[in-house]
Amino acid sequence: MFVGLDLHKNYLQAAVMDEQGRILSQERIPNKDESIEEFTEKRLKDSHAEIVIESSSTWYHVYELLSKNENCHVVLSNPVKTKAIASAKVKTDKVDALTLANLLRTGYIPESYIPPRHIMDLREMVRYRTSLARMRVEAKNKIHAILLQNGTRIKEKPFTIGFVEQLRRLEDYRIDGYLNVISSLSQQIHTVSNTIKREAVEDESTRLLMTIPGVGYFSALLILSEIGDVNRFPDSHHLCSYAGLTPSTHSSGGVTYHGSITRTGSRYLRWILTECAKAHIRSRKDSQLTRFYTRLAKRRGGSKATVAAASKLLRIVYWVLKEKRPYHG
């Protein structure tokens, strides 16, 4: 049987088909563990089932529940590519579930990579640390905005001990509140950073990545968690395409030109590679990557050169992970 599941926060819309495309059942299932298990026991007990679910905020938990059943083989559909293949004027939950089931039956489901549990745990941990850091930056920006609004100037370097002491002397309840938020966030960032550092030191792949100038323990673990198994990519170009760091291509009337990068895939991976490329360029003035950046920056500008350097750095990451050897360059 072939099962399409359209996932929502409170329910799942299911469509079950046989090999000939006959609809065996359509039903709405509450998004609860016991209801999903009851569905698999009732509908999929005595036969092998191919199940497709679409990537959403709740997909991994549903995937793990369904995968417990030995008769079920679960795949994850890429929602962007699925929409491109099977867009329809009439769009309802039933239609979406039927479309998924039919694409799975005919072999046209564009599958997404499903990382193992330990990679998912690492991914969530580094993303959590990233979100905390961004909240802290936002709170600091709020304080700068208040200072500008009041025309207040402090000569100390921002958020040093002296700077914070002068902020406290202003006795502004908003600034005091944001400083308390920053202090709390810093404590949480410190705690999770220690955990990330331990994980990075214990993992062979992250230790290899840290041999690349500009890549620290946090960025190494983030890169590894976002890539997953590097062997699923046949070459470094496919990895760059997965990260959205390859230029878009437009062709019409025999004329082909390249535009900006595609920006598909993980935004976290693109962000951290850009930051690592900047750090590499600052720390290694004579490396091949820095010389590449310098040449390109003269012709295309610093922003485009940084993105190109990030793409080149990702190719280095690919071969370090693929060949399991430290970086020498």
pLDDT in tens, 139-152: 999 999 999 999 99
Per-residue pLDDT, averaged over 95-114, amounts to 91
With CA atoms as reference, report the closest residue to 263 among 215, 319, 310: 310
pLDDT at 234: 95
pLDDT at 82: 82
Number of residues that make up the chain: 329
Q: Which residues, 6 or more positions from 325, have their beta carbon under 8 angstroms from its beta carbon?
A: 208
Going by the DSSP 8-state scheme, the letter that residue 15 receives in this structure is: E
pLDDT at 306: 95
Per-residue pLDDT, averaged over 1-5, amounts to 93
Per-residue pLDDT, averaged over 264-281, amounts to 94
User: Which class in CATH covers the domain with range 2-112?
Assistant: alpha beta
Residue 319 pLDDT greater than 70, yes or no:
yes
Angle 27-112-82 (CA atoms, 0-180°, nearest 5)? 60
pLDDT at 250: 67
Per-residue pLDDT, averaged over 67-92, amounts to 80
Dist. CA 4–CA 103, nearest whole Å: 9
With CA atoms as reference, report the closest residue to 277 among 259, 247, 302: 302
Residue 54 pLDDT greater than 90, yes or no:
no
With CA atoms as reference, report the closest residue to 301 among 291, 293, 313: 293
Q: Which residue would you say has higher pLDDT here, 170 or 40? A: 170
Q: What is the mean pLDDT of the chain?
A: 91
For 251, the 3-state DSSP assignment is: strand
Q: What is this structure's pTM? A: 0.85
pLDDT at 191: 97
- CA atoms within 13 Å, Cβ hemisphere of 89: 0
Residue 329 pLDDT greater than 80, yes or no:
no
The letter for the amino acid at 320 is V
pLDDT at 209: 96
Residue 254 pLDDT greater than 80, yes or no:
no
Cα 124 from chain centre = 10
Q: What is the dihedral of CA 234, 310, 270, 187, to 10 degrees?
A: 120
Residue 252 pLDDT greater than 70, yes or no:
no
Give residue limits of the domains in the chain.
2-112, 117-202, 221-323
Q: Which residues, 6 or more positions from 290, have their beta carbon under 8 angstroms from its beta carbon?
A: 280, 281, 284
**Which residue, chain included where needed, has tokens 């039956």?**
105
Query: What are 177-225's pLDDT values in tens digits?
Result: 999 999 999 999 999 999 999 999 999 999 999 999 999 999 999 999 9
pLDDT at 265: 83
Handedness of CA 122, 128, 132, 135 (dihedral sign): positive
